[in-house]
Amino acid sequence: MNAIVSDPELLRQAALNSAEPAVEIKNVAMDYGGTVLALADVSLNLKEGEFLSIVGPSGCGKSTLLKLISGLAEAASGEVLVRGKPVRGTPPGIGFMFQRDVLLPWANVRENIAVGLECAGYPVNDREKRIDELLALIGLEQFGAYYPRALSGGMRQRVALCRLLAYSPDIYLMDEPFGALDAQTKLLMGQELLSIWSRFRKGVVFVTHDIEEAVSMSDRVVVMTGRPGRIKSEYQIDLPRPRDSRNVRKLPAFHRYVDAIWNDIMTESVRAA
């Protein structure tokens, strides 16, 4: 008799090895209309359910890669496919989170989250209940009626994360989502994201300057060269899951990954200087 597999991590591992990647970037070059290339011959896949981080020197094209996947920019050559389809405009099921929250300033927290539910076509009658669940998930139950201006930076990013979760994307694109937060809030947000992600386990492309953050969260870390951005190296992060992004930092293997990635980036930064 076949056992029914219900362990989310086992299901995710099976998806990781599934034939079709969630995102395929094939030999992509990109400029912004001038003579300076932002990306040159980049090929990269995101597997279904994979947590992939991209690190590299400033200006190497990390955000540009996210823009190409989300259809906000177009490659000069090469191809970008989402779930097997060439990207023309924003593909369905793509969710974006930026370093600066993009909350609606005239809407309160509940209304901001409702935007995500509306975009997802969530049934109108169930929305208030879902907003309650999402607020509880990120510990902001008491702040539903607050406007963004009355919240701290960390709280605003929590709401932005909540709205992203409300939209329930198939693929999460996160561009330094915690980059503007203080070190302690950043660590807490990383832990929360990891804990939430361990429940939904969708593909994530996570851009960061923080190598420890990248290693602590990811299945794989890709290092880019200085401009024009190419893939310099990649590291399969073989650390146990479920993972606590703070405790994992105590493992010797964690520090070996961080050192190796640091070396790669330093070489690039020196080359670019």
Ligand X SMILES: Nc1ncnc2c1ncn2[C@@H]1O[C@H](COP(=O)(O)OP(=O)(O)OP(=O)(O)O)[C@@H](O)[C@H]1O
Judged by the rule CB under 6 A, the positions of this chain that interact with ligand X are 32, 38, 56, 58-64, 227
- In single-letter form, the type of residue at position 165 comes to L
Residue closer to ligand X (CB basis): 60 or 248: 60
Task: In angstroms, give the least distance from the CB of 38 to ligand X.
Answer: 4
Task: In angstroms, give the least distance from the CB of 142 to ligand X.
Answer: 34
Residue closer to ligand X (CB basis): 73 or 103: 73
Q: Three-state SS for 260?
A: helix
- In single-letter form, the type of residue at position 55 comes to V
E strands in the chain: 23-31, 37-46, 51-55, 77-82, 85-86, 94-97, 171-175, 203-207, 220-224, 231-236
Task: In angstroms, give the least distance from the CB of 32 to ligand X.
Answer: 3
59: region left, alpha or beta (phi > 0 left; psi from -120 to 50 alpha): left
Residue closer to ligand X (CB basis): 61 or 91: 61
Q: Decide if 120 contacts 195 (C-beta within 8 A).
A: no
Task: In angstroms, give the least distance from the CB of 180 to ligand X.
Answer: 12
Residue closer to ligand X (CB basis): 23 or 135: 23
